[in-house]
Structure 1
Amino acid sequence: MDVVSLGETMILFSPEETGQLRYNRQFTSRVAGAETNTLIGLSKLGYRTGWISRVGGDELGKRILSSVRGEGVDTSFVKEDGSAPTGLFIKERTTADSSRVFYYRNQSAASKMTPADIEENYLAKAKLLYITGITPALSVSCKETVFHAIELAKKNSMKIVFDPNVRKTLLDERTGRDTLIKMAALSDIILPGISEGDFLFQTTDCEKIVRECKRLGAEKVIVKLGEKGAYYSTSEESGYVHPFKVETVIDPIGAGDGFAAGVISGILDELPIHEAVKRGCAIGAIVTTVNGDIEGLPDKETLETYMKRTNKEDVIR
């Protein structure tokens, strides 16, 4: 196993029309969740991944299991909980270039995860534990589960990759910040965005965000700059990676998860850090050109073709 993660995956309902949700009548549905987006991205690139979670003992839960398993992710440790529903969320496209999301996940099956859901022998088979800041915000038991997973990963000498993935609608600002900073302090590789750096450290300066993460103990920090690319720093080098130009953005949601898959794949392949980050930028760009969180995630051949078609040089300093 290369990467294991834990977290909630839901069903996303997207309107086919633009405008306020009250006027939308036609919807499409997809499977979506930050952690499984990244795991599926890695699976498509040829890596072995595993997911730990709960889904409801309902048709939506069965659809999620079928979809995630069908993308090559191991779901052996996903429990079907007949006492709680599968979560869902609805997207509203308020205008052609802006949207917002409404979550219906309170008391969902995934929010009832407990430390007992983590099997140490299964977790220890992986090289990396991938975690986000979403899961501990779902419930007290989910928070305990995440920190238990971190403890087991440390015990088994696994590297921990942390994407803060801040969801302000789920977090109490003060306690939420404290929790995410504690997670960052226990992680080896941190992947914050600018807005997440602002939430955690009250700065949008990517170099200051890096310094704060390193002060907490991170070995590698990669700051996502969206359409401006990314900034990375290790103990040996730091620098910027230029973005891959996207002519038309169809759907930006899920790009960060694709970015994480690209960076993690580069780390697993032991690429130089700037090459790993370049791979992340490429996948993030590809994902924005397709409607849906996982539909645009490329296989290795597609990724290599896309990257060769561009002539971007990154700046190392």
Structure 2
Amino acid sequence: MDVLTFGETMVALRGDGPLKLGGSMAVSVAGAESNVAIGLARLGHAVRWAGAVGDDEAGELVLRTLRAEGVDVSGASRDAGAPTGLLLFEPRLPEVTRVHYYRAGSAGSRLGVDAAERAFAGGAPPRVLHLTGITPALGASARAACEHALRRARELGVQVCLDVNFRSRLWSHEEAGAVLREWMPYVDVLVASDDELPLCLTADAAPTELPGRARALLGLGVREVVVKLGARGATAYTESGELHCPARTVRAVDAVGAGDAFVAGYLSALLDGAGVAERLERGATTGAFAVASRGDWEGAPTRGELGMLDAGDGAVLR
């Protein structure tokens, strides 16, 4: 197994206009950790997603979709006492989509330490554990499960990638900071937007400039600090210095899932043994595919498709 992703996945309903007006909705699945898992699987890596879904048809859709995408779900569990979470996407303007969550008391929010232990069971440990800051925000049980996964990864010598993915509707800056700062000694690759980095540092150790914040995190033991800058690309900070990669130019269709796609590309190149420049470039490419496609993960490229953006405008591939 190359990568283990651990966290919440929900059923996603996408409307074509205001929800109060009714209409049709497209049914899919979504979750930051499973988005990354699918992105990596399409790039040819062996990936396991571990989490919990309800013992319901929605949970079956989650597991069936991940299996169909080549993701190992043997570490997943079915919770007979809680439903699979749900989220609704409501397009309101060409550039604005509202998201409504129905996840309180969901199976994903009730993840426990046993689920984290089961995620590592069966065979050799993964090369990388990928977590986000979303699942620990769902409650004390899910937080404890993530922390157990971090400790197991350290015991087994597994690299840890953390995407901060701060969600203000789930927890406050103070709550997130208190948890994430405790996680830093376990993290090898930290991925965050520039405004999320202060969450990982104490107030007296958080410089105001981005390079200073990255250096402070490197000083805490993080090996790589990768900062997502949206349309401006991404910058990686390591002990060797700073390296920037611009975003790929595409026609933006839907920005949802772009950060997860970037992480999948970055980790893919890391697993291939590529240098920082190539990791950033692959992350920028997979992120561009996401922005140019609708859905959380549906537009994720296969390895053979990575070069398609170089074909030029209006190209017809035969």
Normalising by structure 2, report the TM-score.
Answer: 0.92
Query: C-alpha displacement at 1:127, in angstroms?
Result: 0.4
Q: Which deviates more from structure 2 when the two are superposed, residues 145-154 or residues 109-118?
A: 109-118
Distance across 2 between alignment mates of 1:77 and 1:30: 21
Give 1:254-293 correspondences, 5 Å limit: 254-293=257-296
2:43 to 37, 40, 45: 45
1:254 shift after superposition: 0.2
Cα displacement (A) at 1:116? 1.1
Amino acid at match of 2:100: F
Does structure 1 residue 81 correspond to structure 2 residue 79? yes
Confirm whether residue 228 of structure 1 aligns to residue 232 of structure 2. yes
Q: In the aligned structure 2, how far is the partner of 1:91 from the partner of 1:261? A: 23
Match of 2:210 among 206, 209, 213: 206
Q: Distance in 2 between matches of 1:281 and 1:33?
A: 20
**Partner Cα separation in structure 2 for residue 85 and residue 298 of structure 1:** 31
**AA partner of residue 257 (structure 1):** D
What is the TM-score of this pair, normalised by structure 1? 0.92
Q: Note if contact 2:125-2:156 (Cα within 8 Å) is conserved in structure 1.
A: no
Work out the CA distance in 1 between the residues paired with 2:143 and 2:310.
38
SS of equivalent to 2:226: strand
Instruction: Give the CA deviation at 1:28.
Output: 1.2
Distance of 1:112 and 1:194 partners within structure 2: 30
Relative distance call for 1:122 and 1:153 in structure 2 (3 A) is: farther
The percentage of aligned residue pairs carrying the same residue is 33
Q: Tell me by how many angstroms 1:5 deviates.
A: 1.2
Q: How does 1:1-317 map to 2 (within 5 A)?
A: 1-17=1-17, 20-117=18-115, 118-119=117-118, 120-122=120-122, 125-197=125-197, 199-200=199-200, 205-246=209-250, 248-307=251-310
Pair 205,95 (structure 1): closer, same or farther in 2 beyond 3 Å = farther
Q: What amino acid maps onto 2:217 in structure 1?
A: C
User: What's the CA shift for 1:154?
Assistant: 0.3
- The CA deviation at 1:141 is 0.9
- Taking the aligned partners of 1:207 and 1:123, their CA distance within structure 2 comes to 40
Equivalent AA in structure 1 for residue 222 of structure 2: A
**CA-to-aligned-CA distance 1:60-95 (integer Å, 9 cap, x gap):** 000110001110110001111111000010112221
CA contact (8 A) 1:5 1:50 kept: yes
Q: Is the 8 A contact 1:54 1:79 kept in 2?
A: yes
Q: CA separation of 1:204/1:31 partners in 2, compared to 1, >3 Å: closer, same or farther? A: farther
2:58–2:84: 8 Å Cα contact kept in structure 1? yes
Task: Determine if contact 2:75/2:121 at 8 Å carries over to the other structure.
Answer: no
Letter in 2 for 1:179: V
Q: Which moved more, 1:165-174 or 1:222-231?
A: 165-174
Cα contact 1:123–1:153 (8 A) shared by 2 = no
Q: Matches of 2:209 and 2:312 in 1, distance apart?
A: 31
In the alignment, the residues of structure 1 paired with residue 245 and residue 60 of structure 2 have an alpha-carbon distance, to the nearest angstrom, of 40
Per-residue CA deviation, residues 78-119 of structure 1 (Å, 9 max, x unaligned), is: 111111000010112221111221110000011111111123
3-state SS of 1:293 partner: coil
